[in-house]
Each structure stands twice: as structure tokens, then as C-alpha cells.
Amino acid sequence: MDVRLECPCGEHVIVTEALAGATLTCDCGRPISVPSLPALRVAAGLPPYDYSPEQVIGQMLADGRLPGTKVCIHCGFETEQILEVYTECETQYRSDSGMPIWFLLLTALMLPITYLFRWGEGGVQWHGRDTKFLLPIPVCEHCQRLLRRRRLLEECMQRIPEYRRLLEKFPKARLKLRGRTSRSAP
């Protein structure tokens, strides 16, 4: 993102988001204050904050604004049929960095004071978070069977810009078609 800032002398300076909040010096010697990052984004024609695809989709689902079209994502014909795609982007998991069991057993045999060691979950660490969505997609009755193939389903979901951003962020997301629903009249 490049933004052009004007100096009162008539010269200009091109700045990037990395310079947000800084003060630059023009060739004429005058200081040029670089606006904050949200102000730079607005000047570049972008929203003030860069929301993650999960936040955007979560809000759009809550508002009932997805998928925003009545056109089948495979063939392009108008349809009232909506399929839900269970999309698992990320799953929380745990790792145990505690002592290996063989060490604990060896210690129990060798030393009668093993109670000094901490037993329990002192070494458990949680990683990631659960990021799962039921994403609605418009699909005509003819194309529903075709979209059971994961690769074609993913390719078609990329046609909805919000889903494309999500799948770009989570390229290994698991996709599975769920039950059929029909679009409710507004």
C-alpha cells in the first residue's frame, strides 16, 4: 500500500504502511507527518482496519449476508437452493512436554523420594484454536452431486470473495457438504 503525501512546497512523498505515525523531512526541509495506519488505509481506499477473514465471515453469518448471491457457484444459473459446507479451518490441540513415562518409572524404582517430582499436567500446552464454520453456498439441484468432490467444491467456493480469503489463509481447511436448506424469502 503506497500513499502519496503532499508538502506545502508542492513536492510529494510516497509512504508505505511501515512509516505510519513517523515524521519525514521533505527535500525543502519541512517536516511531513505521516498519518496513523488507519488513516493511511483510508487514504489508500481501504477500510481503516484489516479484519481477518474469520472476523468478516463471522459477522456476515451473524447478519445473514452470506453468500450474497442466488447464482449457483458451479454453473452460474439462478437457484433458491442453499447447501451448507462444514469448514474446519483450524483445530485446537495439546502437547505434553512433561517428563517421559520411562523416566518416571526409572526414578520410582531407584529413589524412594519420587513424590518430590511434580505429577500432573504441569507440562501441557495448548496450541491453535477451534475455527469452524457452516458456510452457505448457492448450488442448483443439478450441480449438488458434482460438488461432493472436495477439489471442485473448494474451487467453486473460491468464487465467493470472503470464502476465497478464508481458504487462502487456511489452505488445508477441511470441507464437507452438509444438509440442504432452501433460501428463505426476505
Residue 125, beta-bridge partner list = 95
pLDDT at site 128: 76
Predicted TM-score of the model (pTM)? 0.61
CA distance 52 to 54: 5
Closest residue by Cα to residue 75 from 149, 183, 186, 156 = 156
Backbone angles phi, psi at 158, to 5 degrees: -65, -15
Cβ atoms of residues 180 and 82 within 8 Å: yes
For residue range 43-70, list pLDDT tens digits in order: 888 888 888 999 989 989 998 887 778 8
For residue range 21-48, list pLDDT tens digits in order: 999 999 999 999 999 988 998 988 888 8
Provide the residue count of the chain: 186
Over residues 168-183, mean pLDDT: 82
